[in-house]
Structure 1
Amino acid sequence: MTRVLLAEDDTAIADPLTRALRREGYDVDAFVDGREALDAVVASGPDLLILDLGLPTLDGLEVCRRVRASGSAVPVLILTARADEVDTVVGLDAGADDYVTKPFRLAELMARVRALLRRTSAEEASAESVLRIDAEARRAWFHGEELALTVKEFEVLSVLVRESGRVVPRDRLMAEVWETEWFGSTKTLDMHISVLRRKLGDDASNPRYITTVRGVGFRFDAG
């Protein structure tokens, strides 16, 4: 299910928008605080972030900047009551993909949501053309040639490709692949990443496919 994270502190907007998104079949997590929203984005990697500019603790622009600084490529749709051109440009410079000015019609906003998600799906399809994974058969092909992968290598690569273009935090990879809450060294994960890079012909100093986002995790790009 497509996961949408909504950060909006006005319940008169957040509640009907949450209902509309859920009617469309999206899984929605709603937040009223900028810092909590930022933490949730980094931890869970949603498919879309809808972000109000006027959030408490951290405003929407700062949340957006920090999301991008973390290496996340999650599409960001900004909601703003400030219609002047300067704020719009600043918002897009901060890393937002689109914006809607309040007051807005739900139908318009939902159309923007669908457009952003379609674009993301197209980017993921591009990743799939480079690296194809058959989860049931537990097999992977890179540019048409099958990769020889261990169980854990396959699982790490599967998570990264599934979240193509987005940063996957180290602790999330450890939890999904090793099925544990990991609080210590992640050298085992680093070793698997190193081996995967070698099998993909990737250069760790100038990676094309698996990028390390320092202090956060790893991101798979289609190259």
Structure 2
Amino acid sequence: MFKILVVEDDKSISRLLELELKHEGYNVEVANNGKEGIEKYEKFKPDIILLDLMLPEIDGMEVAESIRNFDHNVGIIMLTAKGDLGSRVEGLKTGADDYIVKPFEIEELLARIDALLRRLGKHELLTASNIEIDSEKMEVRVNGKEINLTLTEFNLLKYLVLNKNSVISKEKLLEEIWGYDDPENINLVEVYINYLRKKLGNEGKKIKTVRGVGYVFKED
């Protein structure tokens, strides 16, 4: 699971980013000033830093320069209300990899994060019990052996694993995987859960039914 550090002094924005990024499956930490951002970077070792330009105590430029002095692998995306060319160039010169101007759509930010992870050669590998999910190659291995899943089965398994040990309702799965909110399609979930269980063999037993609610992937 990729780790993202959000360094943003506006707590409403940082909270929104935290919730959205966690929903996308990222491991997220938040800092509300530059000094805290550097401290959390050292402990958390994120893959990506979302760094506000205008921060109290130590501004975003200084934070980026400080981190870049000893780490050239972490991805840094500057978040700022300053959209002029000079500010963008200055931010990139301090070591930022990308620059996004507020206000921005969360879909754009997620696309920027995904693109930066690819440029950095980051490779996502989800694991749960004896299951490995390679999102880049769209492959699933059980006990080291690759199994063939359809795209829908792959997305369903990935979502269950990202939310392992949490009960997910059938309605939520229907909305997230199929994009439906029509209860007439709810049987799709049960059908594909059964497909998954069969293809996963013994590991399929870890997908538990919570009667009257939905399903949970219970990791050992």
Class of the TM-score when normalised by the shorter of the 2 chains: 0.5 to 0.7
Q: Which residue of 1 is the match for residue 26 of structure 2?
A: 26
In the aligned structure 2, how far is the partner of 1:19 from the partner of 1:29?
A: 11
TM-score (norm 1): 0.53
Say if 1:4 and 1:50, in contact at 8 Å, map to a contact too.
Answer: yes
Equivalent residue for 2:41?
41
Q: State the AA in 1 paired with 2:114.
A: R
Structure 1 residue 118: Cα displacement: 1.7
Aligned residues: 125
Q: What is the root-mean-square deviation of aligned Cα atoms in Å? A: 1.9
Q: Which amino acid aligns with 2:68?
A: R
2:58 matched to 1:74?
Answer: no
Q: Residues 1-223 of structure 1 correspond to what in structure 2 (within 5 A)?
A: 1-121=1-121
The structural deviation recorded for 1:73 is 2.1
Query: Is the 1:21–1:28 contact (alpha carbons within 8 Å) kept by the matching residues of 2?
Result: yes
Q: Which amino acid in structure 2 is aligned with residue 28 of structure 1?
A: V
Gaps in structure 1 of 5+ consecutive residues: 125-223
Identity %: 42
Whichever residue aligns with residue 10 of structure 1, its letter is: D
Cα deviations by residue, 1:109-168 (Å, 9 ceiling, x for unpaired) = 1110111112223599xxxxxxxxxxxxxxxxxxxxxxxxxxxxxxxxxxxxxxxxxxxx
SS in 2 for 1:58: coil
1:38-65 deviation line (CA, Å, top 9, x unaligned): 1221333211100001111100010000
Task: Give the whole-Å Cα distance in 1 for the aligned partners of 2:122 and 2:2.
Answer: 15
**In structure 2, the residue corresponding to 1:117 is in which secondary structure?**
helix
Give the TM-score normalised by structure 2. 0.54
Residue 6 (structure 1) shift: 0.3
- Aligned partners of 1:71 and 1:108: how far apart in 2? 26
1:42–1:67 contact (8 Å) kept in structure 2: no
State which structure, 1 or 2, has the greater radius of gyration over its C-alpha atoms: 2
Instruction: Call closer, same or farther: CA 1:123–1:91 in 2, change over 3 Å.
Output: farther
